[in-house]
Structure formats: structure tokens, C-alpha cells
Amino acid sequence: MGKFDGVLLASDFDNTLIYTEDALRSGAEVPPLSPGNRAALEYFMGEGGRFGLSTGRALAAVSRYAAGIPMNAPGVVCNGAAIYDFARGEYLEFALLDELALERGQAVLDAFPSAACEVYHTDNVIHAVRPNAFTRQHQHITHVGVAEVPSLREVPLPVGKLLFEARRPVLEEIRTFLDEQGWAQDYELVFSGQFLLELTRTGANKGCMVLRLAELLGVAPEGLYCIGDESNDLPMLRAAREGFAPANCIPLVRDSGATIVADAREDAVADVIARLDQRY
């Protein structure tokens, strides 16, 4: 028995568990997990806590890092489109898009020629239509290549997420376009970065999936804690007993009522665990 029995901590990856923004901007390599975060996670799990990732990344983009992160719980991937058990190497839950979503996504690309779109599958393949500079920048920090196709209509199912990549004003126009077509209500639409707009199935968000993960693990809602820095983290921060955000979070997250902890460059996850250590 440990002091954290019945506690689940779910953490975003980019700019929360590991600060990747410098690598994105400079072209440097993504840094490893910090010694401080590693020691804190090992302590937390040693005391019975369950730890898992909750990331917008596709499995292909996070699996290369998984072996270097202490985890003893499955993780949420594709921004809530699936739950994946890294220890067993299998998916536990899906919330997938259909052919209509691909058709509508292609209508977006036809209307906005400067935008690119990455398509996240449940396997280790990422397709891209009209990859641009933002696609290549994104590829650098994920270390995953994309298979280019001329149209979303040629992308095979199953698909978990569409990721539109363009300058923020264009992404705002895309969001408005989806509203005007009456399609936005059928999906989760969220900005996960300055140049990224994500589209997943309704209910396929980090909040719904971390609650489902807690249920699978037998963790009561009052034992769920989450930490994240971006708009796509807000659903899970609200679903948690307490949502935490690193000091480098975007203003929208800072203003959401999340508890602000140390910057991701200064062991934000270790700070959360230190606070839980005092609580339990």
C-alpha cells in the first residue's frame, strides 16, 4: 500500500512533461526527460500512483519517447481519439472519424489553398495533403515522416484525427468556415498550437478519454489529476479533481482556473507531485 493508491496523474507531453518549444523553433533535438521529473515520477509510482501521458500526438510521434518515460498507466493519444497501453502494445479504446470527415476536410483544403493537413491513423502511419513549412517543422519535433497524398479522399481508414496546419489567421478562417457549413457541431475543434487546428470526433477529447482511462483503471473521479499547457488540454484540466498548468502555459489556460505550477523547463510535473505529496 502506498500513499498515492487510487490516484491517477495524466500529463500532456509537449511543453508540459518535456519542453519542446525550443526544439521546434531552433531545429535542435527534443531534450530527454529531466532528472527531476524522472525522480518524482518514480517516487509517485513507487507510492502506488498511476501515471500516463495525455497527448495530441499520434502513436507514431510519441512511441519513440515512451521507453524513456516512467509510466505505469496507458495513455491518451491523438488528442482523445484513442487510449493506448504502451506496456502491452495495444489500443484499449477508439473514437474514430469516418469518410464524411475526410470529405469535409478536403472541402476545407479546397477552400484554403495555403493550408496543409496531417491525418493521424491508429497505426504508425501519418498521411499529409499538401505538406507545408509548418508540417515540416512539426515533423522535426515528432521525428515521424509523412506519406504524402494528393487528397484526403485517398486516405484509408481508420483515422483518429485531422490536423490543419497554417498561419493562425487562416486557421481562424477555417474554424469559421466549418461553423458556416454547419459541420463544426459534429466535431471537437481545438487549437493545439499557434499553427495547428485539430479535428476529432465529438467526445474525442482529452477530458472524456482521461475519465474513461480512470474508469478502466478503477480510479474514482476524485483521484484524477491532470497537467497541461494548451487549449486542447482544457477538457482534461476541467475533468480532473484539480487541473494544473506549467507557468509557460498559454493565457487561455492560465485564465481557466488551473493551478499554476513551475515552468516546464523547471520540472513542472515534479512540482505537481510535490503538491500531491503534501495533500496525501
What SS3 class is residue 145?
Answer: coil
Say which residue the cell 509510482 belongs to.
45
60-66 mean pLDDT: 87
Evaluate whether 264 touches 24 at the Cβ level (below 8 Å).
no
Q: What is the pLDDT of residues 116-135, one digit of tens each?
A: 999 998 776 789 999 998 88
Entry pTM: 0.91
Q: What value does the mean pLDDT of the chain take?
A: 94
Alpha carbon of 208 to those of 8, 93, 141, 162: distances in Å?
15, 11, 26, 18
Question: Which residue did the predictor score with more confidence, 134 or 260?
Answer: 260
Evaluate whether 261 touches 244 at the Cβ level (below 8 Å).
yes
Q: What is the pLDDT of residues 186-206, one digit of tens each?
A: 999 999 888 999 999 999 999
Report all structural domains of the chain as residue ranges with CATH numbers, in order of start: 8-94+204-279 (3.40.50.1000), 99-201 (3.30.1240.10)
Q: What is the pLDDT of residues 162-183, one digit of tens each?
A: 999 999 999 999 999 999 999 9
What is the C-alpha separation between 188 and 236, in angstroms, rounded?
14
27-46 mean pLDDT: 94
Over 70: is that where the pLDDT of 141 sits?
A: no
Lowest-confidence pick of 152-161, 247-256, 269-278 = 152-161
Alpha carbon of 253 to those of 52, 78, 222, 229: distances in Å?
21, 20, 21, 6
222-231 mean pLDDT: 97
Biggest CA pair distance of the chain: 58
